[in-house]
């Protein structure tokens, strides 16, 4: 199961927060999982492979310069996703239904007002399966669109050859998504995705801004904004794969440090439904 869950929070007291809370959300996620299932918590903490979950920063709080000011009673959202069956089931069946009434992020205390997990319960909550995604794209008899638009809603970057690359190059975007899909999905897609994207997918339009984030004692440069991609080679299979991976990005995120709030990525369909402002 692939899961996107939204936790509605209310600030219990006034607080001054750093502008980026991805690391704090990451620590909270691991703590909640470990409290419910110590073995799963240890696996997520120690596993050197890509971890099959993402967290967001706080959604709905305006960022002002180097700090975020939050007032008592202010409402915001926190988003957790998982794209691995065991973890998704643990979240949906045990972790999220039994959240504590209150918890802290940095020095701010929040109460849990609501949790949304089902498709349609909130614009950003959703459940599906790899089989359903594949059925909707790879086995669809209709012609797949040649264009895909992605919205990068939190700072996004890539690591390649030991370097940080804060650009949504087609090979990096679709190659990283394919790697994550094939790592856990029972349905394998061609490992030539990266090469196809490098050679036959072009950027048709981009509106990007650079963001520098202080995280884990250092600075990380990323980008936010939108980018449209067009398939130059009109092969039906590859167009379907490109659209499949674009939808998968909703759950997996894109690029580097997605477990700390980076790379929150939506298709136009989801971005248009957002009822809150950009996540921190």
pLDDT, tens digit, for every residue of 94-120?
999 999 999 999 889 999 999 999 999
Q: What is the dihedral of CA 27, 28, 34, 40, to 10 degrees?
A: -70
Angle between helical axes of 22-36 and 38-46 (0-180°, round to 10): 140
| Residue-wise pLDDT tens digits, 118-155 | 999 999 999 999 999 999 998 876 778 999 999 999 99
Percent residues over pLDDT 90 in the chain:
76
Separation CA 115–CA 7 (nearest Å):
5
Angle between helical axes of 236-252 and 170-184 (0-180°, round to 10): 80
CATH 3.30.70.1890 positions along the chain are 2-126
Three-class secondary structure of residue 8 per DSSP: strand
Query: What's the pLDDT at 217?
Result: 67
| Model pTM above 0.95 | no
Helix and strand element counts for the chain (H, E): 8, 14
CB atoms near residue 90 (< 10 Å): 19
Q: Examine the pLDDT at 215 and tell me if it is beyond 80.
A: no
Nearest to 70 by CA among 150, 153, 12: 12
Q: Examine the pLDDT at 171 and tell me if it is beyond 60.
A: yes
Each as own residue / partner, the long-range contacts of residues 35-39 (CB below 8 Å, 24 or more positions apart, any chain) are 36/90, 36/94, 36/95, 36/98, 37/90, 37/94
Query: What's the pLDDT at 269?
Result: 53
Please state the rounded mean pLDDT for residues 42-69: 82
User: Which ranges of 47-97 does DSSP label H, i.e. alpha helix?
Assistant: 85-90
Question: Which residues, including other chains, have CB under 8 Å from residue 235's CB and lie 6 or more apart?
Answer: none
CB 254 within 8 A of CB 150: yes
CATH 3.30.70.1900 positions along the chain are 132-271
| Residue-wise pLDDT tens digits, 219-276 | 899 999 999 999 998 889 999 999 999 999 999 999 999 999 999 999 965 543 443 3
Query: What's the pLDDT at 277?
Result: 35
CATH label, 2-126, candidates 3.30.70.1890, 3.40.50.12280, 3.30.2310.20, 3.30.1330.20: 3.30.70.1890
The domain defined by 132-271 folds into Alpha-Beta Plaits (3.30.70)
| Residue-wise pLDDT tens digits, 185-209 | 999 999 999 999 999 999 999 999 9
Nearest to 51 by CA among 180, 215, 182: 180
Query: What's the pLDDT at 278?
Result: 40
143: buried, middle or exposed (CB in 10 Å: 19+, 13-18, 0-12)? Answer: exposed
Query: What's the pLDDT at 61?
Result: 75
Name the least confident of 40-49, 164-173, 238-247.
40-49
The three-point CA angle 60-115-106 to 5° equals: 55
CB 122 within 8 A of CB 78: no
CB atoms near residue 240 (< 10 Å): 21
């Amino acid at each position: 199961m692939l899961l996107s869950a939204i936790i509605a929070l209310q600030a219990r007291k006034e607080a001054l927060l750093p502008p980026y809370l991805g690391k704090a959300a990451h620590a909270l996620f691991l703590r909640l999982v470990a409290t419910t299932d110590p073995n799963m918590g240890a696996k997520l903490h120690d596993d050197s492979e890509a971890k099959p979950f993402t967290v967001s920063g706080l959604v709905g709080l305006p960022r002002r310069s180097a700090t975020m000011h939050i007032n008592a009673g202010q409402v915001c959202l926190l988003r957790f996703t998982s794209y691995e069956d065991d973890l998704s089931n643990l979240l949906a069946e045990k972790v999220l239904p039994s959240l504590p009434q209150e918890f802290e992020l940095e020095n701010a205390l929040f109460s849990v007002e609501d949790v949304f997990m089902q498709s349609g319960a909130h614009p950003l909550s959703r459940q599906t399966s790899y089989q359903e995604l594949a059925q909707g794209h790879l086995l669809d008899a209709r012609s797949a669109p040649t264009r895909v638009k992605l919205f990068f809603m939190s700072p996004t970057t890539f690591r390649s050859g030991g370097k940080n690359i804060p650009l949504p190059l087609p090979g990096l975007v679709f190659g990283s998504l394919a790697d994550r899909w094939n790592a856990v999905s029972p349905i394998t897609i061609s490992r030539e995705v990266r090469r196809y994207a490098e050679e036959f997918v072009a950027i048709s339009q981009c509106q990007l801004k650079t963001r520098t984030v202080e995280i884990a004692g250092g600075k990380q440069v990323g980008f936010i904004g939108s980018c449209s991609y067009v398939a130059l080679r009109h092969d039906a299979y590859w167009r379907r794969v490109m659209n499949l991976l674009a939808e998968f990005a909703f759950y997996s995120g894109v690029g580097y440090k997605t477990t700390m709030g980076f790379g929150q990525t939506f298709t136009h369909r989801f971005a248009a439904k957002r009822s809150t402002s950009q996540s921190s």
